[in-house]
A and B are shown apart, each in its own frame.
Chain A
């Protein structure tokens, strides 16, 4: 079969048009997981982390430690995220589900995701060693 010389150019042009018009400029790629499928998965480095909303902030009794109740609309999942200005012993808890107690000093600590289709509450902790916390935030829900 004889192929027209312009066929490759036309094919490439049509392909380019399709890619440029159909691909969103704010590229939305498939979520890492959704809902209960995210339970126990570390959000850091996933699409869930990148599209997350800070649904709720709570300060610890020292007024410095912060806990964020994070929610990813793409993954329909929440997680707890605790921050402190300097490296210290921190924990991030999803109330009634699990608490991640960091084994060393960090500035940022988070726990694994939990199904966000319902109300999920989080809280943060700070202390002098792993499991020994004297500063904590109220439980905040989203």
Chain B
């Protein structure tokens, strides 16, 4: 009888453990999907205003992280960077759960009659704070580890200071190779804080 109870307990425990591990594993796999360039981007609309042009793109993202897309608009050979990017339905809880998100890009262009009637809209890249960024505990550990792989001689810490009504943070370099300037070290640290996926999608849009 005792053995039966013990066996039953072990079976229930093992089942629950397997369930929890499987659940965790499937979520991790869903977070690591790879973006396949052009098939995952769809232009929804383009709006022309007096002082800007807005374009809406829906993008299948590489993961559920907070990706920030960056786009350019080429008008008459001039490359205009987006000045604003808005996540559509940002406050809908389902938006963060979906790997496909839509963004409205704003390009500061004063529209004139002399302008070309078409432009090239180009999605240049997607960027995200690596592992949540420097201001989270897990992010800081991951970024330091990432930097160590290529720059083992650089060591740094992040100083966070709280003030009345807000706060600020800065990077303090603790060690760097001889001959490397602070600026170079900062640049390498900054690079390690960002995850970047280059994009090649582009489409001709009508400005009429």
Contacts and interface: CB of A to CB of B under 8 A. Distances in A.
- Our verdict on whether A and B bind, yes or no, reads yes
Interface of A: 5-6, 9-10, 13-14, 16-17, 20-21, 23, 25-26, 40, 42, 44-45, 49-50, 52-59, 63, 71, 73, 85-87, 90, 92, 98, 100, 102-112, 116, 138, 140, 142
A105 B10 CA distance: 58
B6 interface: yes
B160 interface: yes
A9 B84 contact: no
A100 B165 CA distance: 6
Contacts of B183: 86
Interface stretch (B20-28, B38-46, B116-124, B143-151): B20-28
A53 B86 CA distance: 11
A71 B87 CA distance: 11
A16 B166 CA distance: 42
B132 A5 contact: no
Q: From A26, A45, A53, A58, name the one whose CB has the most chain B CB atoms within 10 angstroms.
A: A53
Contacts of A87: 170-171
A108 B163 CA distance: 13
Contact of A100 (B5, B16, B163, B170): B163
Contacts, number: 132
A102 B163 contact: yes
Given A6-B5, A49-B135, 13 more contacts: A10-B5, A17-B16, A44-B135, A44-B167, A50-B136, A53-B96, A54-B66, A56-B87, A73-B91, A100-B165, A103-B163, A109-B169, A142-B91
A49 B190 CA distance: 20
Contacts of A102: 163, 166, 168
B12 A13 contact: yes
Contacts of A103: 163
A26 B24 CA distance: 8
A112 B168 CA distance: 11
Nearest to A40: B165
30 contacts: A9-B6, A9-B9, A10-B5, A13-B10, A16-B16, A42-B162, A42-B166, A42-B167, A52-B66, A54-B66, A54-B68, A54-B87, A55-B87, A55-B90, A56-B87, A57-B85, A59-B81, A85-B186, A85-B187, A100-B166, A102-B166, A102-B168, A106-B169, A108-B169, A109-B166, A109-B167, A109-B168, A112-B166, A138-B83, A142-B90
A106 B96 contact: no
B20 A25 contact: yes
A85 B190 contact: yes
Nearest to A45: B160
Interface in B7-53: 9-10, 12-13, 16-17, 19-20, 23-24, 27
A113 to B, nearest CB: 10
B78 interface: no
A55 B93 CA distance: 12
A140 B167 CA distance: 20
Contact of A111 (B5, B17, B166): B166
